[in-house]
Structure 1
Amino acid sequence: MEGFFMHLELINNTLTTMLLDCISHYPKRGQQKECFGLIFGENNEKVIGEYTFPVANVKSKTASSVNVNEQVNDIIKEARKLVTTSDFVAYYHSHPYDEIYENWADPSIGDIRVSKDVNSNIELIFAIVKSKDQDPSATLKYEYSNDTQYRFFDVKGSKASDAPRAELISHDGHIIHGHYKDYDFKIRAYHWTGQALEEVQLYSSEVEMNLLLHKNNIILEQLPKEAMYHLKKLEYSLRLANKDKYKDKIPYLIEKIKSVGVK
């Protein structure tokens, strides 16, 4: 079935800021805690997430409903007044789990109901788990995957934690996943159509840069501050609007990063 196809591009440190926010709010034993944040950027013919604004844990859930703290909409209203150079393009929240399972980054009935209340264009779900098998010293690794793409509908009378009704759109969905230290994570994005949450294709210049650094055996966490200038240039060159224009400069920037990084 043909769907409403759109994509969200995450640039600058938008994605990594979300990751660190999700890790900082990862629940301790016996807790249920999700982080929540806003993403600002460009929302015209293309949707670009330029920077992240963590709001903290402002969402509460019960067995039958989801309560959105009024603080969220208040912050959105104030941000729209003050952040005049950017649009409010999306919000995100974490799904912290004890173990990975199939469809762990899919929305729940509660997530659909929150989308109605927040009235955002795009909702990102950041599923994350702290794995006992992962190395706590492991470096950051982002990856892309193609996966099935769905739209999700509320089901009257269902509990917030229930699974929504799903309708297949495509087998060519584009998602982001990876690991950092002892955390595994997966990110999926959904567009609220007014009737359903419909999956959005995800792209990130941070992912592109991370993959390129790994390919060239460059460890981001070990680079000195002197490499920051070239890293910023590299990330900018890997954005969707710039990849073709600056493709000849990318090998040069990689070599500059290598030369700065070698001590």
Structure 2
Amino acid sequence: MLLTDYHTHSVLSPDGNVPLARMADAAVAAGLGELCITDHCDLMDQDGGRVYGYNWPAAVSQFRETVPMFQGRLNLRLGLEFGVPHVDRTAAEQILSLPELDFVIGSVHNLSPARGGRDFYFVDYPDADACYAALDDYFASMSVLACTDLYDVLGHIIYPLRYMHTPVSLERYRETIRTILRKVVEGGRGIEINTYRGRTIADWQPILELYRDCGGEIVTVGSDAHLPEHVGLGISEACALLQQTGFRYLATYEKRKPELHRL
């Protein structure tokens, strides 16, 4: 079975720490066959301010320097984690036209502009009401993003739960999530299992079951690693969960086109 990590970050992400070469070394050590670097490209900063453009030359330069070092040992792909691309379609389209881009994760990291735009990581969640208010806003934004063509796979659908210490349930959002996943499928796009560095595997089962019911087939897996020691964490378990929930394939991408590999 091909093992891949399709959600990783290098020093080019604001919260990244190490160059791509060290992440690739870790991927080889973890037994992966393919690694996609998906550094952050967000159109809103952590406080909700607008961000314009992306340092694509630095990303391409790092990628080109690293690929020859791993020839025959590891396939490398160049991607982006594109945060809230739907807030500015013109800017998003310019970024997506960049040459050599293999893969795009469409993510929502921020509250909507109407709610101040703060990153969910920095939001206070004192009680269940605060959690559900944030989740209401989150899935409303994701519903908009899902209907666009500004991504290849929809990223970490359960993202805000990482930061909520009050027990909450996504059951009240079941039909909203179903509608989101149906739009993903209708657009010929996919979703990811984001293992959150191996911490969240079982949490994905209900999402995968809904996605499969909607006819979904395209799934990537990613650790969301920002450090070499986190590369590949949870990938084998995520692939096993895919098999258990009836999926037959794991997706990889080259030049924005998916390739399905039998699990």
TM-score class, shorter: 0.3 to 0.5
Higher Cα Rg, which structure: 1
For normalisation by structure 2, the TM-score amounts to 0.32
Structure having greater relative contact order (Cα 8 Å, sep ≥ 6): 2
More helix by share: 2
Which of the pair is proportionally richer in strand?
Answer: 1
